[in-house]
Structure 1
Amino acid sequence: MPKFAVITGASSGIGAEFARQLSARGYELMLVARREERLRQLGAGLTTTCEIFPADLAKKSECLRLVKELQGRRVDLFINNAGFGDCGMFLDTDLDKELEMISVNVRALHILTKQVARILCRQGHGALLNVGSCAGLMPAGPYMATYYATKAYVVSLTSAVAEELRRKNSAVYVGCLCPGPVNTEFNSVANVKFALHGITPEFCVRCALQGIRKHKTIIVPGRAVALGMTAGRFLPRPLYIKIAALQQKKKLYR
């Protein structure tokens, strides 16, 4: 029987690349995002069965509708990828956009992590990957303050759940993908251009799938970014935030 994977935020970027690589590995898929036409175009080009599940995960009811759809089904892999960012001075950025970001990056991810982990534990196996960011491994991100805060939540929540399951000797895997810059549509949505060269979505997803196989709790694609995150642990917190501010300010279009 083919394995079954669910991917949120599947209409573009990392989510779409997960769909391509998992389909190539024989997974049947459920593709979740707001943009139904994008999902159908993606599914049409894949080689395995793809279910299309249009949903706005900024709404709690839509998250719960997705969970209800998965009840009673075997889920081998759940990619919790939906999310977006914004860039600018905290006092200048749009409040409504930030609240929607919190709804998607934090609330939706929290709901789906809890409910899907329960499904996986009941069935006794499976993997759940939350897509965070290396931003979540840093103490703060001036000029992307809300985005960094949401990703810190993702890293903290995932790490805690993973440890709880380990202590139960559970066969269920929970991990967090923490990439640095990735060349996707994130730039235009977040109103940024990266100060550093980004990796490709293809490389990012290959690293993620390898990390899942190795049961790594935190997966940081790319040696340079991984080394940078490790080195950052040894910096005084105020200095680390100042360095982050200098790098983040380079991203501003204005």
Structure 2
Amino acid sequence: MNVKCRETVLITGSASGIGYEFARIFAHENYNLVLVDRMGERLKIIAVELEEEFGIFVKPIVKDLSISTSPEEIFTELQQAGIKVDILVNNAGFGTYGLFNETNLNTELEMLQVNLVCLTHLTKLFLREMVKQGHGKILNVSSAAAFQPGPLMAVYFATKAYILSFSEAIANELEGTGVTVTVLCPGSTTSAFHERTGMADSKLLKGKKMMDAETVAQIGYDALMQGKTIVIPGFMNKLMSKCVRFIPRKIVTKIVRSMQEDK
């Protein structure tokens, strides 16, 4: 197998959900993969599966991205292995549900590390080489939650707003360098995310049909390849992201609170 003839994509949070679907799409498009997740056994199974199915090279890296040293360790490991990352997909992230004064502080600090700090750190590490070479792509996974405050998921919504703002800003800075930044802002997506956060019974989700992870990943991939800056899957999600600009913030916050509640 000639590994060197293909470009390499690094995907965080790639053992399930949107991240796994990204891995399958890039594998189908003949990219080599670096897959990062803390679910070690699952990750290794996926690596073998994709190598055998698509004839590509897959390097699994088992890391807990809530640990602050993980981004530097990933970068160093790839440098030592002589693996150059052409496309970075910052997909890893999680949320918590509940009143901020009642939720677990340590869990929220880990969320800030994964959703926000790790994404920023990995982008910093790999972006410099991309700019030096004059080509590269970065896809940051935010959320439709980025466009408004989110009572009952206050920290999660805030992290996603950061990702949107950060991505738009550096996309502007990188114009003319050959490197593009795309931020994907999906709405509610079929995955284990909602069960983990404990909001599966909220009015926002209960009985509602959600977009599947494969469709979201494909929309994100297409936007990345086209060099788009912001992509919001789904007509209603696009509409809502625009409407909130014209509604007083206090009212928007009350509406989101009502939708997030479980009764």
Distance 1:90 1:62 in 2: 27
Map of 1:198 onto structure 2: 210
Answering whether residue 68 of structure 2 is matched by residue 86 of structure 1, we say: no
Q: Indicate the larger mover: 222-231 or 169-178.
A: 222-231
Answering whether residue 160 of structure 2 is matched by residue 151 of structure 1, we say: yes
Map of 1:135 onto structure 2: 145
Say how many residue pairs are matched: 248
What does 1:4-15 align with in structure 2 at a 5 Å threshold?
Answer: 4-15=8-19
Distance 2:18 2:129 in 1: 24
Map of 1:173 onto structure 2: 180
Distance 1:158 1:30 in 2: 22
Q: Could you list the runs of 5+ residues in structure 2 that have no partner in the other structure?
A: none
Map of 1:68 onto structure 2: 76
Match of 1:186 among 188, 193, 197: 193
Distance 2:83 2:60 in 1: 16
Q: CA deviation at 1:214?
A: 2.1
Matched residue of 2:169: which SS?
helix
* Matched residue type, 1:209: Y
Map of 2:248 onto structure 1: 236
Match of 2:57 among 49, 54, 64: 49
Answering whether residue 215 of structure 2 is matched by residue 211 of structure 1, we say: no
Q: Could you list the runs of 5+ residues in structure 1 that have no partner in the other structure?
A: none
Does the Cα contact within 8 Å between 1:74 and 1:123 map onto a contact in 2?
no
Map of 1:249 onto structure 2: 261
Does the Cα contact within 8 Å between 2:147 and 2:244 map onto a contact in 1?
no
Deviations 1:105-132 (A, max 9, x none): 1111110111111121122111011111
Distance 1:68 1:62 in 2: 10
* Matched residue type, 1:178: C
* Matched residue type, 1:172: V
**TM-score normalised by length of structure 1:** 0.93
Distance 1:8 1:80 in 2: 6
Q: Indicate the larger mover: 27-36 or 44-53.
A: 44-53
Map of 1:21 onto structure 2: 25
Deviations 1:69-116 (A, max 9, x none): 333643221111111001111111111111111111111111011111
Q: CA deviation at 1:35?
A: 1.1
Match of 1:125 among 135, 155, 169: 135
Match of 2:38 among 24, 34, 37: 34
Q: CA deviation at 1:248?
A: 1.1
Q: CA deviation at 1:163?
A: 0.9
Deviations 1:154-198 (A, max 9, x none): 1111111111112xx111011111100011111122111125432
Percentage of pairs with the same residue: 38
Distance 1:213 1:222 in 2: 19
Q: Indicate the larger mover: 194-203 or 211-220.
A: 194-203
Does the Cα contact within 8 Å between 2:27 and 2:33 map onto a contact in 1?
yes
Map of 1:59 onto structure 2: 67
Matched residue of 2:228: which SS?
coil
Q: CA RMSD in A?
A: 1.4
Q: CA deviation at 1:149?
A: 0.9
Answering whether residue 6 of structure 2 is matched by residue 2 of structure 1, we say: yes
